[in-house]
Structure 1
């Protein structure tokens, strides 16, 4: 007969509506301290064990691992931190499942010939897509002399984030983008982002271009045709100020020269990158946020139109 307020393992199990095996499991792992042992060596528990056992069961229904439950009970980890971590983990798992669903739909809605190529592309992408390969690509592609602070800003703007709930088209765009940068890095040759990367002061160029892209973004969102204005002036100024060791003036002659230089274009891989990045950034509904590549091409077109207009004005 147990003493008053002291329960056997069976009594505790009955009060908690669990099995004796469950009580023994948590006891053996140190989560449920015993009040003592009977003369026959049987486990005994006090009333506080019931509250602790109920808390353990509640934490376990959240699918928390037993070691994590133990740290919460011992107050080594706060319950708030554990919940936050669990939510992050579940968010990642849900995102992975949404990507898996979109990938399956991508494979379902295609011809047999397309399916083999899509399987190859998808097989190279992690189950939970990340941008590590894209970041490495840009860090190797940007000018070596570019300061770390400026390089980080450029990379942040250039690398699109995979959507949490992608469409099949976005899954395909990301898989192609991943393959594009992987092949480019395997090739080993350095790509040219801007035709005059090797000349002048790259930090001045990239900081100025970032400002110009931001100024052009409202026109791109509104679907306006390329045009002269503040964004174009900032764009040309970035190239002029970075030209050589001291920069040069923004003159009609410089603009004509710059147009010719930009007409050579960046490496084809860079052009394809921006095309795929735009596809990845296109939401299921609503306009897409313009990429730096879209802003660059818009400004190049604006420069061409500005020069054409200038020539027209000068023609008798």
Structure 2
């Protein structure tokens, strides 16, 4: 077009932020074509070439390959379709990166051995079906063979549901929860808790809920665990439960791994953080010991 400003390769490079080598490369590949040449044979480009190179740079920074870029510029492919496909690919890549981040964070935090790191990596890469089978196995170990009518609902409430697009914190929580659910010691702990709960079939509420509700007012009022009022609370439970039952409850509910599982479960499922039983368990344990 008469009067149109023509740009040298150097000018295109300055205006687009590309290197001279990159502009020459795109020109040699026909992505941009010169509008003419100087008497000395140097290539000159119009404003259309400037616009194309801006688009090329943007698409390349988004990771789109050169063949696809050529199809977009030549109008053989709709930009919206290319963007959709690439966004989907990036979503998969981001998920992989989050899984890697979760593994590396876990490894750094606990000074894992190479063998432990490999195990964590495998947990992070499980498919949805594999995750389901892993948790189902854990829940079967916990509740299998027990008959309390509330166990199916409890099992559902203990099931992590990692969303299709988990955040970094959810991925990290899943890796830790999956590892915890495979720990034989933790499995044994959860089985003992379930067995204790199974023996309360005839009660309206389980022992944990009863103790929590009985202890909460005392905690809020600052009642000392070695006080006469605390002794009355303990007596109310020792009249209905054996000392062995109460000691077993204290040992299981007071285990930090149990509370950690519920914290991780809340993160994965997007639930509110669970109320900690530790203060009530510690208070009742000291009151039980004081009552002797």
Q: TM-score, normalised by structure 2?
A: 0.45
Q: TM-score, normalised by structure 1?
A: 0.42
